[in-house]
Amino acid sequence: MNVDIDVVVIGAGLAGLGAAAALKAQGRSCLILEASGRIGGRAWTTNPASLGGVWFDMGAVWFHDAENNPLVPIAEAAGDRLLRSNEIRTERTYIGSREATDAEARSYADAWPRFEEAADALLSDGGDVSLADVTRSLPGDPWAATVEAWEGPVICAVDANRFSARDWRRNALGGSNLVAEGGIGAFVARRLTTGLDIRLNTPALRIRWGGKHGRVSVETATGTLTAGACIVTVSTGVLAAGTLAFEPALPPDIQESIHALPMGLALKVALRANGPDRLDLPLHCSVDRQIARSGLALMPFQCWPFGRDYVQGWIGGGTAWDLAKAGEAAAVDHALSELRAIFGGRVDRLFAGGGSLVTSWDADPWVRGAYCYAIPGQSHARDRLGIPLADGHLMFAGEACNVPYAGTLAGAWISGQAAAAAVSGG
């Protein structure tokens, strides 16, 4: 494969597709190299037999902040049905094995603004702290550790003591969350690839940049491409692993930014019921519990989503990495123990012999985790990583490079489109 084009894009996730779509609109030639055998990156819809063949998103699920999300108008213009997750969901919070009282639920709801105000107070001098430091500043708040567990391991896939509170606040999103009926990965494949030249199963091995007139060459197993510029959209986990080589080596500040944005991990564990028992819960019910102290893991569940016959739980951060190393059976056992602590022995009877599914983004060599986070003191690493190199002939894009949509499909798409606007045409 010997190709000479305007821009080569590494990765066919949302950032790569966003960049390629923007370049195509500019009338510039573009080729996407994708190491895996599919497009979409961490947006991947499957139909697992263990869950009865229904569609299931292995990674990303939501259009976050739907009122401002640039992917929502694309879906709406195509006539896709978007489900309002916030409106159809009911919520149950437990303290031990009992449901929280109305007064406790109100205190829990008020805990988020209390936590945010405490974070802003700690960050007011322009410095940074860990998310766990915010909890420590609220010693009398019965729900602070629960908010920490949600905002750290569950939502951002990292333990709170390793997570920059400033990065968390910079990427705080409002608005509603929408779900693409049929799966968000299927939406990406259906709506965001038209007219794009994508080469699957073609990992980039080495990028030589800074050549004559800024030319870039990209080595693959099947040949070398030359281009006016290159946009790299692989995860920081892949970049840190060194499987993609750069010649010359990347500048020290870029290397530091990559290592300041390590990958977090979140596991989804789905358990299919073997009978009609629904644990006395309504359909599409979110279940969580109070966390007693900072650092303890929370595994919330979405029970019977869209009227289906399974529950799915999320576990993130260090516990997710530990369970991933221990194997699928350990993750299933962990989910069962979490449910058992609330609902008792009926859980074992209900899920005995039923199907199960455990995601494994840690084992994907082209991702190496869920999405990245900034370590304390390094919240601006996202900005540094997105700065054009070699007068715009080499650029990085992806969820790691975006604020305020870090860790989201929208962030990756926006970053890719911005890179396409800034990349050199030389």
User: What mean pLDDT comes out for the span 245-259?
Assistant: 98
The pLDDT score that the predictor gives to residue 128 is 98
423: closest CA among 12, 18, 7?
A: 7
State what percent of residues in the chain have pLDDT above 70: 99
Could you tell me which of 178, 36, 65, 172 has the C-alpha nearest to residue 113? Answer: 172
Provide mean pLDDT across the span 176-181. 94
The predicted structure's pLDDT at residue 139: 96
- For residue 211, the model assigns a pLDDT of 83
In the predicted structure, residue 424 carries a pLDDT above the cut 90: no
Per-residue confidence (pLDDT) for residue 365, from 0 to 100:
97
pLDDT in tens, 371-408: 999 999 999 999 999 999 999 999 999 999 999 999 99
Q: Band the pLDDT of 210: cuts 50, 70, 90.
A: confident
Q: Which of 51-60, 205-214, 388-397 has the lowest mean pLDDT?
A: 205-214
pLDDT grade for 410, boundaries at 50, 70 and 90: very high
How far apart CA 151 and CA 169 sit, in angstroms, is 10
Alpha carbon distance 76, 72 (integer Å): 6
pLDDT at 43: 98
Question: What number is the average pLDDT over the span 35-64?
Answer: 97
pLDDT band for position 246 (cuts 50, 70, 90): very high
Tokens of 370: 């869920």
Task: Answer yes or no: same fold for 3-39+193-260+378-422 and 90-172+264-363.
Answer: no
CA-nearest of 192, 233, 198, 196 to 71 is 192
Q: How far apart are CA 192 and CA 232, in angstroms?
A: 18
Mean pLDDT, the chain, whole residue set: 96
Sign of CA dihedral 199, 204, 208, 210: positive
Residue 86 has a pLDDT of 76
Indicate whether 252 pLDDT > 70.
Answer: yes
pLDDT of res. 225: 93
pLDDT band at 75 (very low <50, low <70, confident <90, very high): very high
The domain limits of the chain are 3-39+193-260+378-422, 90-172+264-363
Question: Which pLDDT band, with edges at 50, 70 and 90, does 425 fall under?
Answer: low
**CA distance linking residue 421 with residue 231, whole number of Å:** 11
- More confident position, 231 or 210: 231
Q: CB–CB of 323/267 below 8 Å?
A: yes
Closest-CA residue to 18 (of 37, 39, 38): 39
**pLDDT exceeds 80 at position 124:** yes
Residue 115: pLDDT over 90: yes
Burial class (CB in 10 A: 0-12, 13-18, 19+), 40: buried
Return d(Cα 290, Cα 373) in angstroms, integer. 24
pLDDT for res 336? 98
DSSP, residue by residue, 299-324? --EEESGGG-SEEEEEEEHHHHHHHH
What is the rounded average pLDDT of the residues 321-348? Answer: 97
Q: Which CATH number fits domain 3-39+193-260+378-422: 3.50.50.60, 3.20.20.80, 3.40.190.10, 3.30.559.10?
A: 3.50.50.60
Query: Is the model's pLDDT at 1 over the cut of 80?
Result: no
- Residues 258-271, mean pLDDT to the nearest whole number: 98
Q: Does pLDDT of 2 surpass 90?
A: no
Tell me what the mean pLDDT of segment 142-151 comes to. 98
From residue 403, give the alpha-carbon distance in Å to each of 78, 377, 379.
27, 16, 10
**Residue 130's closest CA among 364, 391, 329, 377?**
377
Cα distance between the two ends of the chain: 22
Question: pLDDT at position 426, please?
Answer: 53
Report yes or no: 399 and 372 within 8 Å, Cβ to Cβ: yes
CA distances for 45 relative to 132, 184, 249, 318, 413, angstroms: 34, 7, 36, 26, 18
Please give the CATH number for the structural domain made up of 90-172+264-363.
3.90.660.10
